[in-house]
């Protein structure tokens, strides 16, 4: 492996890719037996594999997202059928994105990684390799991610394809900055649950609303008891209650109603889009199964399927 790349490409890596790889690695480790073990039977950390997608504009390569892949450790190959299906689905949603390369986890690039790298060259003639080091090093301040390119070098008179390091920068958009800030401030609280600035803010609002509700109930029970004659009537207290009630309709303005309905409609739209996406995915799977079954039935009957 050479020290640095000479291709002149500029790589921009989005935080979503790092979060996806880290989440993939964490889930694989948690599913191992026993769950507390961080290594497999060979004494090494489990490795995960997937593809990175994005856009290349001239000499600038921007990696936006990633998805997981199935890997056969015995043959050191990826499931191509699964890869092609995922690529087709991503093309429907993100037509401008295409596969830029692949990712894995580990401390350094291994010899077997070159087999996977070469297998992806029929999709991208110059794929990139994103490697995430899952080992925790508190002294390290940099992001534990390395991007490799492949170059043809002559070693001992034999041309060989080797990995070379490439520099990159972290590129974020507004939505990613909010998510990264939420994850960065994630810390365990005294109760063992996750606490963030957003969670603390929402907890404070919930406590304030809960206290307001309890005090309104006290006033309500007091007024009911006064109405029934169980307690004497106090005019000074009634004036204070009347003054408090006159403040309640202060937010019932036309602008408030418009903003509230807009937020409410946006929330419903997101929920409906998620439901439609789930239904469309289920329908696609059902149509694929029906086409396969109908095609087999027609072949047995000597007819041709038109679906």
Cα 210 versus chain centre, distance: 33
Mean pLDDT of the chain: 80
Mean pLDDT of 91-102: 86
Structural domain tally of the chain?
3
According to the model, what pLDDT value does residue 131 have?
A: 92
Cross-strand bridge partners of residue 148: 129, 165
Look at residues 119, 47, 108 and name the one whose alpha carbon lies nearest to residue 79.
Answer: 119
Q: Which domain holds residue 296?
A: 258-307
**% of the chain residues with pLDDT over 70:** 80
Same domain as 266, residue 239:
no
Q: Does the pLDDT value for residue 46 go beyond 70?
A: yes
The model's confidence at residue 34, banded by pLDDT at 50, 70 and 90, is: low
pLDDT in tens, 175-228: 777 777 766 665 555 444 445 566 777 788 889 999 988 988 888 888 898 888
According to the model, what pLDDT value does residue 301 have?
A: 56
According to the model, what pLDDT value does residue 63 have?
A: 92
Same domain as 191, residue 85:
no
Q: Does residue 18 form part of some domain?
A: yes
Sign of the Cα torsion 170, 173, 174, 180 reads: negative
Look at residues 48, 44, 53, 51 and name the one whose alpha carbon lies nearest to residue 24.
Answer: 48
* Of residues 189 and 258, more confidently modeled: 258
DSSP state letter for 251: G
According to the model, what pLDDT value does residue 52 have?
A: 92
Same domain as 40, residue 59:
yes
DSSP secondary structure letters along 48-75: -EEEEEEEEETTEEEEEEEEE--EETTT
């Amino acid at each position: 492996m050479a020290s640095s790349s000479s291709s002149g490409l500029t790589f921009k890596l989005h935080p979503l890719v790092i979060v996806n790889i880290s989440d993939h690695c964490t889930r694989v480790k948690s599913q191992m037996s026993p769950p507390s073990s961080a290594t497999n039977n060979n004494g090494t950390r489990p490795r995960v594999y997937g593809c990175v997608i994005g856009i290349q504009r001239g000499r600038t390569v921007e990696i936006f997202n990633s998805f997981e892949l199935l890997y056969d450790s015995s043959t050191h190959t990826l499931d191509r059928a699964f890869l092609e299906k995922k690529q087709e689905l991503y093309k429907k949603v993100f037509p401008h994105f295409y596969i830029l390369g692949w990712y894995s986890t580990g401390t350094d690039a291994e010899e077997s990684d070159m087999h996977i790298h070469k297998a992806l060259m029929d999709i991208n003639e110059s794929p990139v390799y994103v490697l995430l080091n899952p080992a925790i090093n508190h002294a390290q301040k940099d992001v534990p991610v390395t991007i490799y390119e492949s170059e043809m070098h002559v070693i001992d008179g034999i041309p060989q394809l080797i990995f070379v390091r490439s520099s990159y920068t972290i590129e974020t958009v507004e939505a990613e900055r909010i998510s990264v800030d939420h994850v960065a401030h994630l810390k365990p609280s005294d109760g063992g649950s996750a606490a963030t600035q957003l969670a603390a803010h929402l907890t404070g609002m919930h406590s304030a609303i809960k206290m307001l509700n309890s005090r309104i109930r006290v006033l309500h029970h007091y007024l009911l008891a006064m109405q029934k004659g169980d307690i004497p009537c106090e005019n000074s207290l009634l004036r204070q209650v009347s003054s408090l009630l006159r403040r309640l309709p202060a937010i019932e303005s036309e602008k408030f109603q418009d903003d509230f309905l807009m937020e409410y409609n946006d929330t419903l739209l997101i929920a409906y889009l998620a439901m439609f996406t789930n239904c469309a995915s289920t329908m696609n799977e059902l149509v694929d199964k029906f086409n396969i079954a109908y095609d087999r039935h027609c072949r047995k009957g000597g007819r041709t399927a038109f679906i």
